[in-house]
Copies of this chain bind each other. A is one copy, B any other.
Amino acid sequence: MNTGELVELGQQLRVDSVRAAAAAGSGHPTSSMSAADLTAVLFARHLRYDFERPDHPGNDRFVLSKGHASPLMYAVYKATGAIDDEELLTFRKNGSRLEGHPTPRRLPWIETATGSLGQGLPVGVGIALAGKRLDHADYRVWVLCGDSELAEGSIWEAAEHAAYEHLDNLTLIVDVNRLGQRGPTRHGHDLDAYARRFQAFGWHTVETDGHDVDAVDRAYGEALSTRGQPTAILARTLKGKGVEAVQDREGLHGKPLPEAEEAIAELGGPRDLRIRVEAPSADGTPPAGHTGRPDLPRWDKGEEVATRNAFGEALTALGTARGDVVALDGEVGDSTRAEAFAKEHPERYFECYIAEQQMVAAAVGMAARGWTPYAATFAAFLTRAHDFIRMASVSGSGINLVGSHAGVAIGQDGPSQMGLEDLAMMRAVHGSTVLYPCDANQTARLVAAMADLDGIRYLRTSRGAGPVIYGPDEEFPVGGSKVLRSSGRDRLTLVAAGVTVPEALAAAQALEGEGIAVRVIDLYSVKPVDRETLRTAAEETGCLVTVEDHHPEGGLGDAVAEAFADGSPVPRLVRLAVRDMPGSASPEEQLRAAGIDAESIAAAGRLLVGEAIVS
């Protein structure tokens, strides 16, 4: 397309954005109009993409970080012929693929769900990293951001990561329209302010008029020819560009244009220009597949092993068997034990430094390219990435998260380092799997099993060594549990997971000595939960006592309660959990103080079989 055609295409994208929002009665046309020329030039002149083959390994990747500008996204899809005008006008309607914010769950050309600002660039960095270091392909990653979202710290985690990794296959286009949702941004049209920041972080920058299609074209060319560093294009634009009534005005964010017909006329009316997006020439390397069944590490019963160690060894073995497995860590690989993988498979290990949002985003980006990422840090610090995990589930992304140092059992370091909310956070993620192993062999099996699940999978590991309870050939289906003690005389059931399993076993042993038979269930699969086994235990023993190294809300106790939340008969339920704020103390003192050690469990058991009520 020549200059005149590009200008026309920009206007067409505006018109179609206005039309889509008008048909929906909601949406963000003004945020689409500012970026229309930037998008027109990109799709018509620079993007290499095969819309017939969205999984083509050589496709460039486009991420709309400012996801609310979805009308623009869909308008450009229409211009490429990927969707038709009829579908464009289903925007935001019940059942439409064209959601208010784009998501790959609906449309095959979307790389990642956006709409929570500041996430597109971090995920784009993950895709670009995959291109450079895993796919070894020459696709480019183009990310379109708003200016408001540059206030998010996650943008600067991504900026640091991209420059450090010399991602010259990444171009960030910033639509500097100076207006956020409720008013002007901090820096308005001061492009230099943004350029200084990106330059300081090691980026090449280009400042341009975002409505001058030739200047934009030159900026993209400069980005393509820049080697050794990513490029940020800072484009001065006007929100609502092209329609006097809304252009560069406050108070018009997220609203259809007041007079859509007049606006369309002012923009020159509808057009039907078609973009012929150039297909990629070369294929990249798809992720190497399985080389066989993993040769998982094995431990003998009675050995003392920390589940974090088992995780590190198992992941390393899995990485040997599966070329698609990659690992990421937030500068604590010596603690999470991800460093074991790093030593064996350095080419598939990604040090993300202390930037948990970026770590999870990079995993999402790699998963989008077909890799199977495991991202590890302390369970407590995964809370830093909660919004990214939430959005990954909106994407339908398949990633593995591993949180070490769970609970008060870590001991002296104190509450800042203790994961005591992680089960609640991970259970509430849509479609998630939550696993909490108690021994090394179980950990190894679950590490391997989680690779093939859908959605967000979470494994919780422990710092201290614990006894190996299971033999190395035992199987642990996701959604299952293990009944570790059982008899026809059981008067209550202890439901434990992770570090509380050995405690529950010791408590049961003590109670047995007093003539009180107690069932013990290892509920290693916290979500999905093994309803069947829990119901049988409820029927047969009448009372379930959950014991967890976690706050009382959202964890094991709630998972067990949920197993009965369909109107079926409910047993008596008691939950032992961490109810007070811990301080520093030894692991043993911590478990005792929280009332989740063997002695506390046994005491609770005695009270309960005596029909006493614990309150």
Interfacial residues, chain A to chain B (CB-CB below 8 A)? 24, 26-27, 67, 92-96, 98-101, 103, 105-106, 113-118, 148-149, 151-157, 160, 164, 180-182, 185-186, 196-197, 199-201, 251, 331-335, 339, 353-358, 380-381, 383-384, 386-387, 390-391, 393-394, 396, 411-417, 420-421, 424-425, 427-431, 527, 543, 551-555, 557-559, 561-562, 564-575, 581, 583-586, 589, 593, 608, 613-615
Contact = CB atoms under 8 A, between A and B. Distances in A.
A582 to B, nearest CB: 9
B100 A386 contact: no
A572 B567 contact: yes
A552 to B, nearest CB: 7
B152 A157 contact: yes
Nearest to A333: B182
- Most chain B CB inside 10 Å of its own CB: which residue of A106, A114, A151, A199: A151
Contact of A585 (B27, B93, B116, B383): B93
Shortest 10 CB-CB distances between A and B: which pairs? A153-B153, A115-B416, A424-B428, A561-B561, A200-B200, A94-B585, A156-B156, A570-B570, A554-B554, A386-B386
Contacts of A116: 380-381, 384, 416-417
B152 A153 contact: yes
B584 A416 contact: no
A158 B364 CA distance: 26
Given A117-B354, A153-B157, A584-B96, A428 B200 contact: no
23 contacts: A99-B583, A100-B413, A103-B415, A148-B353, A152-B153, A152-B384, A153-B154, A153-B155, A153-B156, A160-B186, A181-B331, A181-B334, A356-B387, A380-B387, A383-B387, A384-B386, A384-B387, A393-B581, A420-B430, A558-B561, A561-B562, A567-B574, A570-B572
B557 A552 contact: no
Given A149-B354, A153-B157, A561-B573, A416 B181 contact: no
B394 A383 contact: no
A286 to B, nearest CB: 27
A416 B67 contact: yes
Given A394-B415, A565-B574, 16 more contacts: A93-B585, A96-B584, A99-B583, A100-B584, A103-B414, A156-B156, A180-B353, A197-B197, A381-B387, A394-B416, A424-B424, A543-B567, A565-B575, A566-B574, A566-B615, A567-B608
- Most chain B CB inside 10 Å of its own CB: which residue of A160, A430, A553: A553
Contacts of A412: 24, 26-27, 92, 100
A98 B92 CA distance: 55
B428 A554 contact: yes
Given A118-B354, A354-B118, A567 B614 contact: yes
Given A353-B185, A390-B421, A358 B572 contact: no
**Oligomer: number of copies:** 2
- Most chain B CB inside 10 Å of its own CB: which residue of A416, A555, A613: A416
Contacts of A613: 566-568
A429 B421 contact: yes
Given A99-B414, A152-B355, A553 B572 contact: no
A314 to B, nearest CB: 20
Contacts of A569: 572
Interface of A is mostly: loop
Contact of A180 (B118, B185, B197, B331): B331
Contact of A554 (B94, B114, B182, B427): B427
Contacts of A564: 570, 573
A608 to B, nearest CB: 6
Contacts of A26: 411-413
Nearest to A122: B153
Contacts of A115: 413-417
- Most chain B CB inside 10 Å of its own CB: which residue of A148, A149, A153, A390: A153
A425 B414 contact: no
Contacts of A387: 356, 380-381, 383-384, 386
A182 to B, nearest CB: 5
A118 B355 CA distance: 9
Given A425-B421, A557-B562, A186 B201 contact: no
A260 to B, nearest CB: 17
Contacts of A411: 26
Contacts of A160: 151, 186
A571 B569 CA distance: 8
A593 to B, nearest CB: 8
A34 to B, nearest CB: 17
A572 B425 CA distance: 26
